[in-house]
Amino acid sequence: MKKNQLIILMFLLIQLGTLKAQDENYNSFKLNWGMGNLMRQDMSFSDMIYTKWSPVNVQFEYNRSKKLEQQAYVQFGMFKPMIGEPYSYNSFYNGEEEAVPCNFLILDINYSLGKTILDNGKWKLALGGRSANRLNSSNYGFGPAEPYGYYYSFALDVWVNAKYQLSEKHRFVANLALPIFSYNARSPYLSTDAQYLWDNYSHNGLKAFGNYIKGGEIQSWGGSQSVDFDLSYYYTLNEKWDIGAKYSLALDFNQVPANFTQIENIIYLSVNLKF
Amino acid sequence: MKNLKYFFFAIAVLTFVSCKKTFFEPEPQNNPVEMFDNLWSTFNTDYPNFEQRGVNWQEQYDIYRPQVNNNTSDDELLDIFKQMLAALDDGHVSITVPNADQWYSNTIINDRIDNDLFDLELIKTKYMDDNYLESGYGGNTYGWIGNIGYYNIAWIQDNFLDIDDILNYFSNAEGLIVDMRHNGGGDFTWAFSEFGRFTNEKRFVFKSRTVNGSNPGDFTDWWKWDIEPSGTYFNKPIVMLTDRYTISAGERTVMAFNTLPNVTQMGDTTCGAIATVVGKVLPNGWYYTLVIQQTEFSNGVDYEGTGIPPQIYVQNTSEEMNNGVDAQLNAALEQFK
């Protein structure tokens, strides 16, 4: 229960910061679409490294910037890696079947709040915190067995936001986030156990989702490590619109209950509306 | 700008070139020796039922590992895998390769031994006179044989959500035959969560523990599974039929029925592949399945390997089946006279 209270307190503090920032008046809304590469090795499921490029990477981002920097974004990615190629086989129980790829879904919902600590016209640097919420939802394609995997992470990060105005029309923005601690819920060792079956006993997806989260634990750098970095370039078209590109790198390592390693590289094309 | 170039270069080097070796654990390579070692090692650490199956896994390694080298062909390697895993005779252990029948370690399933001794079509036509109902996408088939209700459960999934309707349908029956023969399993929690009308009190069915580490004896705590009353109690006599193809979640459901005082299990012993199964993949895209759990029925017996024996053995024969006679079903009907 104490874990849950701590998480609620964390979110309340961030929301207070949001209210305080309402008097700022510079906003932008970005739509990013990109090509991404995912590499994942989750030893709870397989010792193979699953790798796949995917064009299904979309990010909606809202920024509010003046004395306080705020950034909220929702990111969705889908990857369908497979060891080998799809093929048919005959099952005694189901007749002809198809061995299909895995399906990895990644949803990030993040909110960052920072205070500007340097602003000299060219450089603007903000330091603050980020509520980083990542939901990894996976179906592993193992032919006749297709286990479901989850890895839900709710983290409080240190967040650094840097902006560099190269010229009137060109600028760069970078973000770096490192977790202070995170509340993580993962599939059990070897992907299933009695607790997992009990979590699904109601056969209600929402209840199962809640049960998975209840089974999580607070971890710090001893058991879970992650780094999120992105670098964007923007070209100013006019007062309202920018276009640009963004490189995003997400490293995610976890050791409980088994080693999990995930590296995500995405290159986005961006459209930025300022208002 | 010059510094930014170096920065981009550093990121590229870090993420695209070196990250695989730096960050990931070594993965097995696509060659016969590494694939053999990977499969054998996975069973060695994750499969908890060698004792129940009477198999010395190290001996299997000593027999088959020398037969594998880097010149071993795919067909030869597959044959070695099959020979090694056949010793387990486990209905949950299988190998899947492209464009072929899935291979099962259990001889009865793999060789379809006595597969013709159960025929639902015969029961539909000869015993229920083509007057029957189906639900759950074919998971449930039920109808009347005289004053006795007949209910075939083909698998254990959300077809159990219809159990209330089916028991209402048989509210005037003198008794019920639950036919679990050839039940292909599924997810036993569907059966347990919907089992309430069959019992008038909470009953302990079985306990299970799952491998949770790579050292011998690394298990979760035992987890107890119960059934609990819910809805109008169905208190009629029940005869449950089983055969050698009743497997997995089907067997756990048999366990649940066997805790009831009004149930008689007839037919043949179940498959004896009860514990939870998981899938794995080899570097060449072949799949295999293995068991990661131990189970123990409420009477303290682990039926993994042996199967759950009926209280009354009755065997069908091919000759009788060809003549339209299901001797096991006939014997079940006799129980109500």
| For residues A216-236, average pLDDT | 94
Residues of B in contact with A203 (CB under 8 A): 158, 189-190, 193
3-class DSSP state for residue A29?
strand
The per-residue pLDDT of chain B, averaged, comes to 95
Q: What is the pLDDT of residues A59-73, one digit of tens each?
A: 999 999 877 999 999
Q: How many structural domains compose chain A?
A: 1
Shortest distance, CA A38 to any CA of chain B (angstroms) = 11
Is residue B5 over pLDDT 60? no
Whether residue A16 is contained in a domain is answered as no
Is residue A94 over pLDDT 70? yes
Is residue B89 over pLDDT 70? yes
Q: What is the DSSP letter of B222?
A: P
Whether residue A94 is contained in a domain is answered as yes
Whether residue A20 is contained in a domain is answered as no
Is residue B6 over pLDDT 90? no
What's the ipTM? 0.92
Best of B280, B295, B296 to disrupt the A interface by mutation (most A CBs within 10 Å)? B280
Best of B278, B284, B290 to disrupt the A interface by mutation (most A CBs within 10 Å)? B278
Task: Decide: A154 and A183 in contact? Cβ < 8 Å.
Answer: yes
Is residue A22 over pLDDT 50? no
Shortest distance, CA B68 to any CA of chain A (angstroms) = 21
Whether residue A4 is contained in a domain is answered as no
Per-residue model confidence (pLDDT) at position A17 = 46
Per-residue model confidence (pLDDT) at position B22 = 83
CATH number, domain containing residue A204: 2.40.128.90
| For residues A88-106, average pLDDT | 96
Whether residue A18 is contained in a domain is answered as no
Task: Decide: B223 and A198 in contact? Cβ < 8 Å.
Answer: yes
The span from the CA of B141 to the CA of A136, in Å, is: 39
3-class DSSP state for residue B144?
strand
Q: Is-cis flag, bond preceding A257, omega within 30?
A: yes
B276 and A192 within 8 Å at the Cβ level: the answer is yes
Residues of B in contact with A265 (CB under 8 A): 15-16
Q: What is the pLDDT of residues B207-257, one digit of tens each?
A: 999 999 999 999 999 999 999 999 999 999 999 999 999 999 999 999 999
Is residue A46 over pLDDT 70? yes
Which pTM does this prediction carry? 0.91
Domain carrying residue A142: 26-274
Whether residue A9 is contained in a domain is answered as no
Q: What is the pLDDT of residues B268-305, one digit of tens each?
A: 999 999 999 999 999 999 999 999 999 999 999 999 99
Shortest distance, CA B159 to any CA of chain A (angstroms) = 13
Domains and CATH numbers, chain B: 115-205+227-276+303-334 (3.90.226.10)
| For residues A93-114, average pLDDT | 97
The beta strands (E) that lie in chain B are given as 94-96, 103-104, 132-135, 140-145, 148-153, 175-179, 203-210, 223-227, 238-242, 263-267, 277-281, 287-291, 293-297, 312-313
User: In terms of Cα–Cα distance, which of A71, A1, A68 is closest to A30?
Assistant: A71
Whether residue A245 is contained in a domain is answered as yes
Whether residue A17 is contained in a domain is answered as no
The per-residue pLDDT of chain A, averaged, comes to 92
- The angle at the Cα of B152, spanning B116 to B249, to the nearest 5 degrees, equals 90
Nearest CA in chain A to B21: A49
Residues of A in contact with B193 (CB under 8 A): 201-203
Shortest distance, CA A178 to any CA of chain B (angstroms) = 17
Residues of A in contact with B96 (CB under 8 A): 89, 99, 143-144
Is residue B16 over pLDDT 80? no
User: In terms of Cα–Cα distance, which of B33, B32, B15 is closest to B24?
Assistant: B15
